A = this chain, B = another copy of it.
Amino acid sequence: MVEIDDIDHRVLELLREDGRRTFSEMAERVGLSVAAVKRRVDRLRELGVITGFTARIDYAKLGWGIEAFTELRYAGSTPVSEIVRTATGAPEVQAVFTIAGDPDALIHIRVRDLDHLQQVIDGLRRTGNVTGTKTLLVMGSWTREAGVALRGRSAEARGRTRR
């Protein structure tokens, strides 16, 4: 585990909120010079704490309005690698979480409509050793946008609800 001080945490929080913040803006907010903030960000990347930057995209605006989680159960003999391989195969699958216990995996799916969802699930059921599925259809979602409670204390939670 990596050693991180309070200022690093604030920098991470700022970059969580807006990954394109400039060094000068962050410098002002955390009370350090631009060079010092850059050095910290560089270090956080070298340490692997910051693994990259990405754009937040509203997929519903692009017509991918349906979101679901599907629990997958596999035949007892199925190795985890096989579970991940089959589940990641469908392009609609956004994330795969392998689970201790029952179910064996939870996958996050994004699709255009319910018909499309049906097709994706049917595809999964036909794949590999899937013995059962249970799908949770997402009605609304909220995501913590500011950095997690990085220090175990309540960081400000700014988020939004959709739909």
What residues of chain A have their CB less than 8 Å away from a CB belonging to chain B?
A: 1-2, 4, 12, 15-20, 47-59, 61-64, 67, 69, 71, 80, 84, 87-88, 91-101, 103, 106, 110, 112, 136-145, 147-150, 152-155, 157, 159, 161
A57 touches B49 (CB 8 A): yes
- Binding site secondary structure of chain A: mixed
- Selected from B50, B54, B149, the residue in CB contact (under 8 A) with A91 is B149
Select A147's contact among B15, B57, B100, B157, beta carbons within 8 Å.
B57
Is the CB–CB distance between A97 and B141 below 8 Å?
yes
Q: Are B155 and A61 neighbours in the complex by a CB distance under 8 Å? A: no
Alpha-carbon separation in the docked complex, A95 to B159 (Å): 9
Q: CB distance B141 to A98 under 8 Å? A: yes
Which chain B residues lie closer than 8 Å to A4 at the CB level?
62
Residues of B within 8 A of A12 (CB): 55, 57
> Given the interface contacts A12-B57, A155-B91, does A62 sit within 8 Å of B49 by beta carbon?
yes
